[in-house]
Amino acid sequence: MSDIYVPGIKSRFDTEKLVEGLMKVERIPKERSEKQVEQLQAQKTYWQDLSRRMTSLRDSARFLYSFQNPFNERMVNISDPSVLSGTSTRAASDQELTFTVKQIAQADRFLSDPIEDSFTVEEGTYAFSVGQESISFPFRGGSMREFIELLNRRGRDKIGANLIAVQPGKKSLLIESRITGAENPLVFSEAAEALGIRVGLLEQGKGASSTSVQEETLTVAPGETAFIPFSRGEVAAQDGILAFEIATKVLTQPDSPLTEDQADAPQDTDENRSSTTIPSWTPLEPVARVDDMRVLHLTYADGTNTALPPIVDSNDFSAYQYRFADIVGDKIDQPMVSLEIVNQNTHREVSIRNLQLMDPGGNGNFQPRNPISVAQDAVLSMEGIEITRPTNKIDDLIPGLTLTAKIPSDNPIRLRVEPDQQAIKDAIISLVGNYNRLMADLNVLTRNDERVIEELSYLSAEEQTDLRKRLGVFAGDSILTQFKSSLQRATAATYPTSAHRDLALLAQIGIGTDVRGSGGSSGYDPARLRGYLEINEKVLDEALQTNVSAMAQLFGSDTDGDFIVDSGVAYAFEILAKPFVEIGGIIALKTGTIDSQINQEQRRVETLERQLALKEASLKNQYGQMEGAYNRMERMSSSLDQFSQQGTK
């Protein structure tokens, strides 16, 4: 049935098959061009992949000798991190120090007596202060929880409060300062003071924690001296505080009493007028002006004294406060007997009032009843030198080093600042990894040997299949062959370092083509001839511990003193890769040429497609005409046969 011919449905001569057979031959140039385009696009991809590999190698190489190189990174090793911790920057120098954390900085934290859940806070203005910071807010009255919420909103990073359930149905109020340091005590005032007493946060101070020595105003005229004596019970402890208010009044003209002659001179009245001639009066010369603001002195039992810092002119009373430990120096053990006001000024009155001796552990006239912690400074000993700071984080002691005191301890802590060996090691491993990946691509692209793929045992089956497509694609490219050889020479070359011959080769820090370990030969391994690098971590770790500075020079150094790196393994890698990956470099030119070839082949394909379409239409037309002619001849033959048959009848 396959030979049955149906006019208009099936071609008698299978024209389509004939045309397709002829067109298959005609399409060969087009298919060849399309395949060429695919090959060019694949080559462009291979060059781009090579560019990425080279860029990775260049970046990891440049990182090892740039100003951000890991050889300048520093780390802090501390014998007991639970007592003291530390961090360092690149500015820190290598050193080893001994610390003792005598005291950590704390803030005031006060706990109240247990209070009922139904406790209400009265209406009022509640004021607190922490050192120089003050907080004040009105409260309309309400529950303790509402008060705490308002205090936490207003206090922010200065003061906080919380309720702690200490007994069933009862809670204690915890109010804490969030600023550490002895100079930042938590002080209650106004309604806050009454609340503190009411809930058992505060209690009346005892002893000399807050002793008033001179409440009334004492005014000392120009040129005069006054004493304010201390009783034995008033003398504060070594950590006591001297507080007072002082004001000055600058006079336009000092008071000048009359001389004795002027006082005895007869007055010019009608009774004593006479014919005697009275000599003319000569005014006194003006007094020389003296300005001396150092008017306060602490006097000791041995008769010596210490001058307090100068005061500042102010018509209004200004508050002053000094810690005895800061002002008495080596007289800390001497009993203090008085405060002396020596006013040597000629044009200034000095007034003082509200002189008090206070204990910093107290809270104004009150002291905490249940202190969890009190405001104090961090005290550390560094190589026997005592260091005091208001916070536990100390970043101004050693350049580039930040210390954090955690807990006090009598045990000395050893702190060592040294190069960050792990950061250096990671950077070197990254460089070797990028080098080996690039070398693997170069071996595959420039060689027609399946073994270069089989040697890469870490590849998956899919990755190996992909590499087989690339095998030997650039086998005739001399530029890549030379580049690969240059890389291999760079890894085996010697470089100048401060250690000279002891550290001039990569192999001396455990990096090379055969550094798996000492001992007997491991046999012939052709993979080692491909230029891949290995790392002996034991040798590398030893080099990191002994001579980091020479290692840095091995990867990049300045040999001519112009502050520009001009030698080293990493420098050599960067110089070799730069012409390939820079803008307008070798790879850019290669891919640009390939793009031009792709465009040319694509235009040729488009032209061939048009020509093939015309050719196919022409063949179909010709075969159609031939089949039509054959059909006409067949019909004519059939007609002649019929005519002949009719003639014989």
> pLDDT by residue (tens digit) across 463-491?
888 889 899 899 989 999 999 999 999 99
Per-residue model confidence (pLDDT) at position 287? 66
Instruction: Please tell me the least confidently modeled range out of 158-167, 300-309, 535-544.
Output: 300-309
* Residue 284 backbone dihedrals phi, psi, to 5 degrees: -70, 150
Question: Domain coordinates of the chain in residue numbers?
Answer: 15-37+593-648, 39-70+422-587, 74-105+377-419, 109-207
Residue among 96, 89, 98 nearest 395 (CA): 89
Instruction: With cut-offs at 50, 70 and 90, classify the pLDDT of residue 283.
Output: low
The 3-state DSSP class for residue 531 equals: coil
Per-residue model confidence (pLDDT) at position 647? 66
Distance CA 438, CA 454 (A): 16
Tokens matching residue 455: 């040697």
Distance CA 127, CA 141 (A): 15
Tokens matching residue 452: 């270069």
**Please, what is the angle between helix 421-446 and helix 461-470, to 10°?**
50
Per-residue model confidence (pLDDT) at position 511? 94
Instruction: With cut-offs at 50, 70 and 90, classify the pLDDT of residue 80.
Output: very high
Distance CA 443, CA 508 (A): 26
Q: Is 186 in contact with 135 (CB distance < 8 Å)?
A: no
Residue among 92, 375, 349 nearest 222 (CA): 349
The 3-state DSSP class for residue 73 equals: coil
Hey, what amino acid is at 319? A
Instruction: With cut-offs at 50, 70 and 90, classify the pLDDT of residue 253.
Output: low
Per-residue model confidence (pLDDT) at position 487? 95
Per-residue model confidence (pLDDT) at position 288? 82
**HSE-CB of 67 using CA atoms within 13 angstroms:** 3
Distance CA 254, CA 28 (A): 120
Instruction: With cut-offs at 50, 70 and 90, classify the pLDDT of residue 22.
Output: confident
Check residue 66 and report its DSSP letter: S
Residue among 44, 45, 52, 49 nearest 594 (CA): 44
Q: Is 434 in contact with 60 (CB distance < 8 Å)?
A: yes
CA dihedral 174, 182, 184, 81 (to 10 degrees): -70
- In the predicted structure, residue 285 carries a pLDDT above the cut 70: no
Can you state the percent helix, strand and coil of the chain, rounding each to 5?
40, 25, 35
- In the predicted structure, residue 238 carries a pLDDT above the cut 60: no
Q: Is 431 in contact with 60 (CB distance < 8 Å)?
A: yes
CA dihedral 548, 552, 558, 559 (to 10 degrees): 60
Instruction: Please tell me the least confidently modeled range out of 56-60, 71-75, 640-644.
Output: 640-644
- In the predicted structure, residue 430 carries a pLDDT above the cut 70: yes
Plot region of 158 (φ>0 → left; ψ -120 to 50 → alpha; else → beta): alpha
366 bridge partner residues: 204, 363
Instruction: With cut-offs at 50, 70 and 90, classify the pLDDT of residue 224.
Output: very high
**Please, what is the angle between helix 28-63 and helix 421-446, to 10°?**
160
- In the predicted structure, residue 273 carries a pLDDT above the cut 70: no
- In the predicted structure, residue 520 carries a pLDDT above the cut 60: no
- In the predicted structure, residue 1 carries a pLDDT above the cut 60: no
Per-residue model confidence (pLDDT) at position 378? 94
Sign of CA dihedral 193, 198, 202, 208: positive
Please give the mean pLDDT across all residues of the chain: 84
Q: Count of H helices and E strands in the chain? A: 14, 31
Per-residue model confidence (pLDDT) at position 279? 61
343-374: per-residue pLDDT in tens?
999 889 999 998 887 765 545 457 888 889 99
Q: Is 75 in contact with 445 (CB distance < 8 Å)?
A: no
Instruction: With cut-offs at 50, 70 and 90, classify the pLDDT of residue 13.
Output: low
Instruction: With cut-offs at 50, 70 and 90, classify the pLDDT of residue 519.
Output: very low
Tokens matching residue 576: 């070799």
Per-residue model confidence (pLDDT) at position 125? 93
Tokens matching residue 487: 């890389």
Distance CA 287, CA 344 (A): 13
Per-residue model confidence (pLDDT) at position 414? 96
Q: Is 448 in contact with 434 (CB distance < 8 Å)?
A: no
- What is the mean pLDDT of the segment spanning 14-30? 80
Distance CA 63, CA 558 (A): 15
Distance CA 604, CA 362 (A): 96
Sign of CA dihedral 514, 519, 522, 524: positive
Per-residue model confidence (pLDDT) at position 636? 84
* Residue 518 backbone dihedrals phi, psi, to 5 degrees: -80, 165
Instruction: Please tell me the least confidently modeled range out of 16-30, 212-226, 267-281, 533-547.
Output: 267-281
Q: Report percent pLDDT > 70 for the chain.
A: 86
Tokens matching residue 537: 């971590």
* Residue 332 backbone dihedrals phi, psi, to 5 degrees: -60, -30
Per-residue model confidence (pLDDT) at position 583? 93
- What is the mean pLDDT of the segment spanning 28-48? 90
Q: Is 273 in contact with 285 (CB distance < 8 Å)?
A: no
Calculate Rg over the CA atoms of the chain.
49
Kindly give the residue spans of alpha helices, DSSP state H, lying in 64-126.
none
Per-residue model confidence (pLDDT) at position 222? 92
203 bridge partner residues: 367
Size (the chain), residues: 649
* Residue 68 backbone dihedrals phi, psi, to 5 degrees: -100, 15
- In the predicted structure, residue 139 carries a pLDDT above the cut 70: yes
Q: 163 CB contacts (<8 Å, ≥6 apart)? A: 144, 145, 148, 171, 172, 173, 174
585-638: per-residue pLDDT in tens?
999 999 999 999 999 988 988 888 888 888 878 877 887 777 778 778 877 888
Number of Cβ within 10 Å of residue 65's Cβ equals 23
- What is the mean pLDDT of the segment spanning 151-165? 92
531-569: per-residue pLDDT in tens?
899 999 999 999 999 889 999 999 999 999 898 999 999
Residue among 190, 198, 202 nearest 115 (CA): 198
Instruction: Please tell me the least confidently modeled range out of 203-217, 237-251, 297-311, 558-572.
Output: 203-217
The 3-state DSSP class for residue 403 equals: strand
439-460: per-residue pLDDT in tens?
999 999 999 988 888 888 888 8
Q: Is 397 in contact with 383 (CB distance < 8 Å)?
A: no
- In the predicted structure, residue 429 carries a pLDDT above the cut 70: yes
